[in-house]
């Protein structure tokens, strides 16, 4: 049996979730801190804490409050899904921001809600129906919409549950849904206003049509990807008058109504105006001159299909060509003849085959890589289609939206992301807003028997009587979400909420929906409210897996946030996400990282528990610094510096940095040094020293408040136990008292250096922890005197008599700690170590000497740099002298 397979004895652990549940549920403060279990078990606690926060109304904002408002509206998740890590990420940031502001005394509102997600949701429900062998047409419009509402109730609830689990401090009393009555009214009001202002119009144009969803979609709902196609050259015409055109979509030739050449192309000037026989049909088509044609591409002759291609549509309009539609809404050929009834792809091969038979295929390139549009919802190949749709005239709105960022009324963070915004806003085409769907806001337009068109506002009666019908289409889902920042606050009514909370402060969202959503909100906000919807746009990256790969179902690397929250707690997930949040960059995350964050939460838990058991307290005033030890002053100095640092990072949305600063302060400084050093005082007389206990209480109190926005759950139980306060949610955000003590910081740096050096010595020497080493600790100089006992304790050194065999001396500020050790010391090991240090010091001396001998350097380098090099040089010299002496002593 190998050593590795010998099971390690299982250590008795004190895991008892029930204890904690009792503690947190029934009593704010346990009888004794020892009642807190030694391991933090988040799963059971978090839910209870959350519900208590909600019951107490901590997250409900008051529009009548005198406090300064701070508002964030949530990017409404689609009711179609469940929340993924990307949501968890953004929610963590928004929650941390609002929690901090609430603690700072703002009237903080984080408004929750969901988006009806028209096409996406309709597709889901249609899928569900398909499983029952039904279609939406079988149900009829009203019944189908009822089904979708049912679906919304079921799945929307799941999302809300996930938000609670994450700890989202949202105001549930203000929860909104884009199909709510109030929001529908906002949609109709805006539609009417835009219609009256001439910003909404109806026109027949080529749009992106999804033959599977059976609706128009906007340009940005089309995803282009490189597909393998087939480029063929077709010969049209007969005898002298033939042309050769290239196409990847041969089936559209049935709808060709012209061939175009460039007006200046000398090769084809003679053809302009001639009629060409179109194969497979009995039609002839003209040759037209249009400067859109690129003479360099292919033959310089282009087939023109105005009803099935956006460019050709424009050419058709310029030359007044007929527009022949050759397929129906499902992409099936409708032209009478041999191809009728064939699907567009079947028709393509059939037509190529037929032309090949006639010898009219001159060249075939297969495969031919080209960019093809797909429906972003169902991936079906988009079919450009001529149809009548409603449009928004974007230019004036986009201008205003762009100006708002240009003149700084809205700031984009990080700033270099703003180029994406401008690229879009400055080049936006008109927006197709009608969708041939049933789920969504129905277009408030009625058509009369004589072709009259009436747009009806929300408080107006639609025209009655024979022959009047409402437009069957609904609006693009982004039309209603574009109104979100003010429709959720009660607009078009002049509500107290609207007055208090609009414009909102910051929008936190992914850079991937700048065009879909951010730009639209900016357009609607400036147009409808005459005021920007938010002062700051904080763009986040996308959450990726631990190797930076995109999370997708096909890679199989999608993670349900609930799984990780169940295993490691919400705090762990939140901390991990926050610590990965460098502005604008994607956020990789892996399970091991969440585990590490769980360990951090556990560390906070245990260290605080330990401190509580040993007299950390917030009772009474903080003692005067003159009564404190240098260690006390050091940690308070660091505490206040950390408060300032964290605040600065929050103001700049630097979540990764503030998370790191918090962990460093808590773990490295408070737990590993301050608590450890305090142990001596704690244990010295069996009772904690009063001053240190109070200082430690202060440090923990502030630290927990500082941590709370990111890790709300673990901090709540500990903080209420420590302080007896009602809840850290409504505690005051710490502020920098301004206390700094450079002297104490320097002294502690020296102590740390000394202690580390001695530990290193022990490790090098292979001294066992339990092994008592007779030694004498000399403090040369006084500043360290206060720490003699702590160091002795940590090292387990015992004062002894004479008889030394080896010496290690340690450099500290203004003093040398001479550590004389007796006993079985490995002289060779120490000699090797010292030699290594000596070599490093000599290298340093050489480098600094060379630098200081460089006149150009001395002349041009700034003083502080030169001083730094000088200091380094003298330090190196001292080190060398010291090390040489030590080596000599070793004999």
Partner RNA sequence: GGGCGCAUAGCUCAGCGGUAGAGCGCCUGCCUUACAAGCAGGAUGUCACUGGUUCGAUCCCAGUUGUGCCCACCA
The DSSP output letter for 621 is P
**Closest distance between RNA and the C-beta of residue 194, in Å?**
22
**Per rule CB under 7 A, is residue 844 in the interface with RNA?**
yes
Number of residues that bind RNA (CB under 7 A): 90
**Within positions 425 to 454, which residues make up the interface with RNA, using CB under 7 A?**
427
Region binding RNA by CB under 7 A among candidate stretches 393-401, 519-527, 547-555, 642-650 = 547-555
Region binding RNA by CB under 7 A among candidate stretches 8-16, 393-401, 736-744, 882-890 = 8-16
**Per rule CB under 7 A, is residue 657 in the interface with RNA?**
yes
Give CA–CA dist 457/188, Å, rounded.
Answer: 6
**Per rule CB under 7 A, is residue 856 in the interface with RNA?**
yes
Q: How many CB atoms lie within 10 A of CB 188?
A: 22
Q: According to CB under 7 A, which one of 7, 465, 548, 738 is a site residue for RNA?
A: 548
Helices 712-723 and 570-579: crossing angle, nearest 10°? 110
From 681, 672, 888, 633, select the one nearest 789 (Cα to Cα). Answer: 681
Task: For RNA, give the closer residue by CB, 198 or 769.
Answer: 769
Q: Alpha carbon of 676 to those of 168, 587, 671, 680, 816: distances in Å?
A: 35, 35, 7, 8, 23
List the x/- string, 377-416, binding to RNA by CB under 7 A. ---------------------------------------x
Task: For RNA, give the closer residue by CB, 340 or 592.
Answer: 592
**Within positions 600 to 629, which residues make up the interface with RNA, using CB under 7 A?**
601-603, 606-607, 609-610, 613
Q: Count H helices and E strands in the chain, helices first.
A: 28, 29
**Within positions 37 to 76, which residues make up the interface with RNA, using CB under 7 A?**
38-41
**Per rule CB under 7 A, is residue 219 in the interface with RNA?**
yes
**Within positions 305 to 324, which residues make up the interface with RNA, using CB under 7 A?**
310-311
**Closest distance between RNA and the C-beta of residue 356, in Å?**
18
Identify whether 503 is preceded by a cis peptide bond (ω within 30 of 0).
Answer: yes
Task: For RNA, give the closer residue by CB, 98 or 389.
Answer: 389
Task: For RNA, give the closer residue by CB, 622 or 869.
Answer: 869
**Within positions 164 to 203, which residues make up the interface with RNA, using CB under 7 A?**
none
* 553 appears as a binding residue in the annotation: yes
Alpha helices in 117-244, H assignment, sequence order? 118-131, 136-139, 141-166, 181-196
Give CA–CA dist 219/854, Å, rounded.
Answer: 63
Task: For RNA, give the closer residue by CB, 98 or 717.
Answer: 717
E-assigned strands of 17-169? Answer: 69-73, 107-111, 113-114
**Per rule CB under 7 A, is residue 672 in the interface with RNA?**
yes
**Per rule CB under 7 A, is residue 683 in the interface with RNA?**
yes
**Per rule CB under 7 A, is residue 300 in the interface with RNA?**
yes
**Per rule CB under 7 A, is residue 365 in the interface with RNA?**
no
**Per rule CB under 7 A, is residue 15 in the interface with RNA?**
yes
Helix (H) or strand (E) holding 718: helix 712-723
Sign of CA dihedral 621, 624, 629, 631: positive
**Closest distance between RNA and the C-beta of residue 497, in Å?**
34
Region binding RNA by CB under 7 A among candidate stretches 68-76, 639-647, 699-707, 851-859 = 851-859
Q: Alpha carbon of 407 to those of 182, 535, 538: distances in Å?
A: 32, 12, 17
Give CA–CA dist 145/129, Å, rounded.
Answer: 12
**Within positions 106 to 145, which residues make up the interface with RNA, using CB under 7 A?**
none
Q: How many CB atoms lie within 10 A of CB 76?
A: 22
**Within positions 697 to 756, which residues make up the interface with RNA, using CB under 7 A?**
755-756
Q: According to CB under 7 A, which one of 165, 176, 205, 249 is a site residue for RNA?
A: 249
Q: According to CB under 7 A, which one of 18, 356, 406, 550 is a site residue for RNA?
A: 550
**Closest distance between RNA and the C-beta of residue 249, in Å?**
6
Q: Alpha carbon of 743 to those of 102, 148, 253, 369, 758: distances in Å?
A: 36, 68, 86, 70, 23
Cβ contact 151:128 at 8 Å: yes
**Closest distance between RNA and the C-beta of residue 248, in Å?**
5
**Closest distance between RNA and the C-beta of residue 416, in Å?**
6
CA 675 to the chain's CA centroid: 35
**Per rule CB under 7 A, is residue 418 in the interface with RNA?**
no
Task: For RNA, give the closer residue by CB, 71 or 614.
Answer: 614
Helix (H) or strand (E) holding 217: strand 215-217
Cβ contact 543:89 at 8 Å: yes
**Within positions 749 to 808, which residues make up the interface with RNA, using CB under 7 A?**
755-756, 759-760, 763-764, 768-769
Region binding RNA by CB under 7 A among candidate stretches 298-306, 320-328, 643-651, 782-790 = 298-306
Task: For RNA, give the closer residue by CB, 735 or 768.
Answer: 768
Give the max Cα distance, the chain. Answer: 119
From 600, 638, 859, select the one nearest 741 (Cα to Cα). Answer: 638
Q: According to CB under 7 A, which one of 302, 307, 355, 821 is a site residue for RNA?
A: 302
CA 679 to the chain's CA centroid: 41
List the x/- string, 573-602, binding to RNA by CB under 7 A. -------x-x--xx-x---xx--x-xx-xx
From 675, 698, 702, select the one nearest 688 (Cα to Cα). Answer: 675
Q: Alpha carbon of 53 to those of 78, 164, 729: distances in Å?
A: 26, 11, 8
Residue 575 main-chain phi, psi, to 5 deg? -60, -40
**Within positions 139 to 158, which residues make up the interface with RNA, using CB under 7 A?**
none
Q: According to CB under 7 A, which one of 356, 860, 870, 884 is a site residue for RNA?
A: 860
**Closest distance between RNA and the C-beta of residue 613, in Å?**
7
**Closest distance between RNA and the C-beta of residue 669, in Å?**
11
Cβ contact 522:418 at 8 Å: no
Give CA–CA dist 296/713, Å, rounded.
Answer: 66
Region binding RNA by CB under 7 A among candidate stretches 78-86, 404-412, 461-469, 862-870 = 862-870
Which residues participate in the annotated binding site for ATP?
553
């Amino acid at each position: 049996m190998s050593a590795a397979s010998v099971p390690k004895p299982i250590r008795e652990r004190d895991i008892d979730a029930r204890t904690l549940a009792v503690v947190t549920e029934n009593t704010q403060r346990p009888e004794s801190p020892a009642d807190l279990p030694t391991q933090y078990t988040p799963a059971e606690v978090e839910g209870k804490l959350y519900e208590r926060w909600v019951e107490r109304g901590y997250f409900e904002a008051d529009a009548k409050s005198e406090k300064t408002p701070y508002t964030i509206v949530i990017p409404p998740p689609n009711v179609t899904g469940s929340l993924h890590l990307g949501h968890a990420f953004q929610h963590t940031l928004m929650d941390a921001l609002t929690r901090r502001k609430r603690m700072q005394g703002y009237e903080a509102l984080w408004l929750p809600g969901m988006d009806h997600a028209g096409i996406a949701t309709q597709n889901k429900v249609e899928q569900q129906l398909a499983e029952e062998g039904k279609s939406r047409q079988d149900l009829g419009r009203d019944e189908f919409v009822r089904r979708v509402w049912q679906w919304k109730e079921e799945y929307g609830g799941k999302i809300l549950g996930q938000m609670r689990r994450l700890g989202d401090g949202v105001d549930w009393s203000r929860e909104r849904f884009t199909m709510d009555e109030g929001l529908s009214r906002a949609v109709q009001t805006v539609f009417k206003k835009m219609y009256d202002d001439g910003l909404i119009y109806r026109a027949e144009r080529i749009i992106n049509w999804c033959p599977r969803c059976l609706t128009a979609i906007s340009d940005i709902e089309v995803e282009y990807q490189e597909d393998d196609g087939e480029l063929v050259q077709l010969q049209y015409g007969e005898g002298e008058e033939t042309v050769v055109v290239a196409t990847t979509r041969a089936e559209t030739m049935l709808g060709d109504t012209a061939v175009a050449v460039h007006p200046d192309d000398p090769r084809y000037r003679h053809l302009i105006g001639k009629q060409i026989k179109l194969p497979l049909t009995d039609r002839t088509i003209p040759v037209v001159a249009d400067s859109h044609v690129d003479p360099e591409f292919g033959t310089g002759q282009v087939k023109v299909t105005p009803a099935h291609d956006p460019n050709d549509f424009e050419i058709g309009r310029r030359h007044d060509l007929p527009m022949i539609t050759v397929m129906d809404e499902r992409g099936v050929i409708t032209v009478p003849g041999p191809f009728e009834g064939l699907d567009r792809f079947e028709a393509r091969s059939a037509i190529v085959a037929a032309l090949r038979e006639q010898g009219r295929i001159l060249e075939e390139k297969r495969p031919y890589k080209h960019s093809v549009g797909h429906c972003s919802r169902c991936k079906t190949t988009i079919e450009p289609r001529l149809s009548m749709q409603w449009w928004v005239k974007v230019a004036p709105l986009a201008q205003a939206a762009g100006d708002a960022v240009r003149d700084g009324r809205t700031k984009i963070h990080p700033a270099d992301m703003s180029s994406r915004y401008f690229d879009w806003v400055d080049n936006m085409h008109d927006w197709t807003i009608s969708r041939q769907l049933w789920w969504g806001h129905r277009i408030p337009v009625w058509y009369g028997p004589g072709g009259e068109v009436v747009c009806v506002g929300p408080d107006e009666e639609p025209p009655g009587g024979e022959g009047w019908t409402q437009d069957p289409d609904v609006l693009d889902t982004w039309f209603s979400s574009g109104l979100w920042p003010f429709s959720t606050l009660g607009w078009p009514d002049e509500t107290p909420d609207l007055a208090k909370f609009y414009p909102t402060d910051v929008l936190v969202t992914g850079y991937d929906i700048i065009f879909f959503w951010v730009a639209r909100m900016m357009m609607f906000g400036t147009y409808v409210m005459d005021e920007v919807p938010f002062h700051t746009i904080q763009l986040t990256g996308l959450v990726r897996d631990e190797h930076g790969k995109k999370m997708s179902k096909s890679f199989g690397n999608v993670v349900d946030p609930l799984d990780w929250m169940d295993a490691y707690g919400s705090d762990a997930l939140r901390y991990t996400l926050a610590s990965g949040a460098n502005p604008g960059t994607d956020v990789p995350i892996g399970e091991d990282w969440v585990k590490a964050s769980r360990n951090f939460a556990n560390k906070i838990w245990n260290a605080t528990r330990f401190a509580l058991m040993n007299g950390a307290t917030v009772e009474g005033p903080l003692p005067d610094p003159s009564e404190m030890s240098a260690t006390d002053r050091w940690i308070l100095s660091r505490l206040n510096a950390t408060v300032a640092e964290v605040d600065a990072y929050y103001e700049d949305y630097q979540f990764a940095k503030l998370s790191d600063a918090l962990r460093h302060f808590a773990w490295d400084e408070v737990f590993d040094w301050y608590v450890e050093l305090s142990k001596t005082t704690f244990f010295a007389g069996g009772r904690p020293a009063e001053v240190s206990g109070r200082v430690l209480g202060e440090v923990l109190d502030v630290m927990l408040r500082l941590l709370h926005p990111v890790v709300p759950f673990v901090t709540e139980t500990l903080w209420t136990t420590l302080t007896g306060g009602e809840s850290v949610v409504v505690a005051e955000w710490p502020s920098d008292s301004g206390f700094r003590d450079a002297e104490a910081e320097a002294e502690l740096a020296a102590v740390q250096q000394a202690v580390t050096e001695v530990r290193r010595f022990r490790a090098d020497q292979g001294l066992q922890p339990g092994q008592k080493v007779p030694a004498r600790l000399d403090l040369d100089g006084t500043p360290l005197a206060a720490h003699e006992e702590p160091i002795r304790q940590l090292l387990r050194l015992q004062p002894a008599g004479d008889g030394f065999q080896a010496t290690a001396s340690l450099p500290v500020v203004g003093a040398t700690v001479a550590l004389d050790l007796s006993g079985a010391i490995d002289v060779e090991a120490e000699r090797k170590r010292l030699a290594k240090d000596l070599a490093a010091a000599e290298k340093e001396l050489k480098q600094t000497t060379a630098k200081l001998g460089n006149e150009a350097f001395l002349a041009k380098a700034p003083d502080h740099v030169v001083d730094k090099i000088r200091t380094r040089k003298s330090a190196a010299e001292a080190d060398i002298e010291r090390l040489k002496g030590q080596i000599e002593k070793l004999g």
